[in-house]
Structure 1
Amino acid sequence: MEYRHKTSPSPRKFKVVASARKVLFIVFWDMEGVVHMEFLEQGQTENSDRYISTLRALKLRRVRRDKDSILQHDNARPHTSRQTQDALRQLELTTLPHPAYSPDLAPPPDYYLFFQLKKYMRGHNYDNYEEVIADVRRWCHGQSSEFFTDSGRLLVKRRRLCVHHEGDYVEK
């Protein structure tokens, strides 16, 4: 029990945490479109074991059979753990290094794709988890190849700019 004066306002009641209703969406794509997507069940988080199983599924799909593929991901712990790095070597998947503490190199494709997806989903109401997943899948598959090409071009442009500035911080 908490002591309060009679004139003190009532304590605020906490609402349900918004993140409890979020869906974790993992997607790999290239300049042609979506290569692989997964949705984690509510309450699950991404860890090294989970990420490695995703990489194995991606490798089984052989990304794009006729092209060499390079993965670009950020420095999140599941991506940089020794266990993940060993799995990447074993699966013969090449990664594009992402320097630590480089907000200027935050993957533009991530920003581009997720910004557009959030913009699309704004104002939609879903009754359950399956409806969210179905709508996200529908939206991803409905994007043109130009959408993904533009995303890839942003990444190339940003990387070149960083190299041109010899690694110094790059403003927009």
Structure 2
Amino acid sequence: MTTVFWDSRGMILLNILPKGESLNADPYCETLDRLRHTVRPKRPELLRSGIFLQHDNEPPPPHTHTSKRTMEWLERYRWDIIPHPAHSPDLASSGFHLFGPLKSHLGGKKFEDEDELIGEVRDWFSKLDANFFTQGIYSLLPRRHKCIALHGDYIEK
């Protein structure tokens, strides 16, 4: 399970849960705390201007992203959630912009163990330039407009 936080300037936090661990509200809020502490020195202007998160539309059980604890955490720090229609994978920017190219990069490679795979994933993300992330953010709005024009239908079939 990988949780990715990024913006138009690049990767902010990549959190990979150890094999066998599942994501629920407690570790998710711990990840949000890590994110908050990562943002503070790297991009303090974000904490002043507000943070908007876009969750994917398939929250891990038991609804980590919408749990009472998570919602209280988000309210405490005044972070907002960008609404994401159910069953709209083509509107999850990490899904269409990050994980597709990552999957292509990893395709056909063999890894000795989980640590080697995680190292390769971290290395791949670290080599992406800022333009890659900017394109991902800027492609989101036209995708949303197209989804609205199609009355909520999928953009990519």
Q: TM-score range by the shorter chain?
A: 0.7 to 0.9
1:155 corresponds to which residue?
140
- The residue correspondences of 1:18-29 to structure 2 (distance < 5 A) are 24-29=1-6
1:106-137 deviations in Å (ceiling 9; x for gaps): 31332220011111011111111211111111
RMSD, aligned α-carbons: 2.0
Measured in 1, the distance between the counterparts of 2:129 and 2:5 equals 16
Measured in 1, the distance between the counterparts of 2:129 and 2:147 equals 28
Measured in 1, the distance between the counterparts of 2:152 and 2:15 equals 35
Task: Tell me which protein shows more helix as a share of its residues.
Answer: 2
Inter-CA distance 138–171: structure 2 relative to 1 (3 Å threshold)? closer
Q: Does 1:89 align with 2:89?
A: no
1:65-87 deviations in Å (ceiling 9; x for gaps): 22333111134111111221111
Letter in 2 for 1:39: I
Unaligned runs of 5+ in 1: 1-23
| Native 8 Å contact 2:91 2:144 kept in 1 | no
Measured in 1, the distance between the counterparts of 2:87 and 2:25 equals 22
2:12 corresponds to which residue?
35
Higher relative contact order (CA 8 A, sep 6+): 2
Q: Does 1:169 align with 2:149?
A: no
Which runs of structure 1 show a deviation greater than 6 angstroms over 4 or more consecutive aligned residues? none
1:65 corresponds to which residue?
44
Measured in 2, the distance between the counterparts of 1:51 and 1:167 equals 32
| Native 8 Å contact 1:33 1:145 kept in 2 | yes
Q: Does 1:55 align with 2:32?
A: yes
Unaligned runs of 5+ in 2: none
Measured in 2, the distance between the counterparts of 1:121 and 1:104 equals 21
Q: Secondary structure at the match of 2:2?
A: strand
Measured in 2, the distance between the counterparts of 1:157 and 1:83 equals 33
Letter in 2 for 1:82: K
Measured in 2, the distance between the counterparts of 1:135 and 1:105 equals 26
Q: Which has the larger radius of gyration?
A: 1
Measured in 1, the distance between the counterparts of 2:2 and 2:107 equals 16
